Amino acid sequence: MTISVLDRTDGMTDATLSNGLGGLHDAAGEVDEEQLPCRVNDPELWFAESPQDVEFAKILCTDCPVRDLCLTGAKQRREPWGVWGGELFLQGVVIPRKRPRGRPRKNQAA
């Protein structure tokens, strides 16, 4: 059995996705590429496993001229993971920080 088309389960349509990304792409095209940290640094930084790398990516986004548009689009698209507009997304929700790998605490911290 081959799956040729995957249906979205989050209510988004392909047109909505392309419009959101298209607006960001258009805005980024009007800015000097050297001002866009995601274009001049390693793209993997925005999807890193290391909490330190994720925090560094968030800091790089601070002065980005398309930060607000990037963040708004990521919220609309419910990005599954990564740093978008200076915020970390996980399963479409902004989370404050990335926990390092390892076993969770046995008891809650006071």
Q: Which residues are annotated as part of the binding site for [4Fe-4S] cluster?
A: 38, 61, 64, 70
Short-list 39, 12, 15, CA closest to 25: 39
Cα separation, 9 vs 17, in Å, equals 13
Query: Which residues are annotated as part of the binding site?
Result: 38, 61, 64, 70
Q: Specify whether the CB–CB gap between 54 and 48 falls below 8 A.
A: yes
